[in-house]
Amino acid sequence: MSFKALLVEKDEEGKTTAAVQQLDEAQLPEGDVTIAVEYSTVNYKDGLCVGSGGGLVRNYPHVPGVDFAGTVEASSDDRYKPGDKVVLTGWRVGEAWWGGYAQKACVKADWLVPLPDGISTRNAMAIGTAGFTAMLAVMALEDHGLKPADGPVLVTGAAGGVGSVATAILANLGYEVAAVTGRPETADYLKSLGATQIVPREEINETVKRPLEKEVWAGCIDAVGSAMLARVLGQMKYGASVAAVGLAAGADLPASVIPFLLRGVNLLGIDSVMKPYDARVKAWERLAKDLPLEKLEAMIEPATLPDLPGLGKAILKGQVKGRVVVDVN
Ligand code: NDP
**pLDDT tens per residue across span 264-273:** 999 999 999 9
Rg (CA), the chain: 20
Question: What pLDDT is recorded for position 122?
Answer: 97
Which domains can be identified in the chain, with CATH numbers? 2-115+297-327 (3.90.180.10), 128-269 (3.40.50.720)
Cβ of residue 193 lying under 6 Å from some atom of ligand 1: no
Cβ of residue 320 lying under 6 Å from some atom of ligand 1: yes
Cβ of residue 44 lying under 6 Å from some atom of ligand 1: yes
113 Cα: distance to centroid of ligand 1 (angstroms): 25
Q: Is the pLDDT of residue 321 over 90?
A: no
pLDDT tens, 119-168?
999 999 999 999 999 999 999 999 999 999 999 999 999 999 999 999 99
- CA–CA distance, 204 with 269 (Å, rounded to integer): 21
Q: Is the pLDDT of residue 1 over 90?
A: no
- Protein residue with its CA nearest to atom 33 in ligand 1: 246
Cβ of residue 66 lying under 6 Å from some atom of ligand 1: no
Share of the chain above pLDDT 90, in %: 93
Contact 111, 93 (CB under 8 A): yes
Pocket test for ligand 1, best of 201, 203, 313, 323 (most atoms within 8 A of CB): 201
Q: What are the start-end ranges of the H helices in the chain?
A: 44-50, 121-143, 161-172, 187-193, 201-204, 226-233, 258-263, 277-290, 293-299, 308-316
303 Cα: distance to centroid of ligand 1 (angstroms): 20
What are the φ/ψ torsions at residue 202 (nearest 5 degrees)?
Answer: -65, -20
Beta bridge partners of 102: 5
Cβ of residue 315 lying under 6 Å from some atom of ligand 1: yes
Q: Per-residue DSSP letters for 280-324?
A: HHHHHHHHHHHS-HHHHHHHEEEEEGGGHHHHHHHHHTT---SEE
Share of the chain above pLDDT 70, in %: 100
292 Cα: distance to centroid of ligand 1 (angstroms): 22
Cβ of residue 179 lying under 6 Å from some atom of ligand 1: no
173 Cα: distance to centroid of ligand 1 (angstroms): 22
Pocket test for ligand 1, best of 46, 49, 224 (most atoms within 8 A of CB): 224
Question: What pLDDT is recorded for position 78?
Answer: 97
Closest by CA position to 181, among listed 172, 162, 250: 162
Q: Residues 295-316: what's their mean pLDDT?
A: 95
pLDDT tens, 46-82?
999 999 888 899 899 999 999 999 999 999 999 999 9
Cβ of residue 157 lying under 6 Å from some atom of ligand 1: yes
- CA–CA distance, 166 with 319 (Å, rounded to integer): 18
- CA–CA distance, 57 with 35 (Å, rounded to integer): 22
Q: Residues 195-221: what's their mean pLDDT?
A: 94
- Protein residue with its CA nearest to atom 43 in ligand 1: 130
27 Cα: distance to centroid of ligand 1 (angstroms): 33
Cβ of residue 165 lying under 6 Å from some atom of ligand 1: no
Which pTM value belongs to this model?
Answer: 0.95
- Protein residue with its CA nearest to atom 36 in ligand 1: 246
Q: Residues 219-243: what's their mean pLDDT?
A: 97
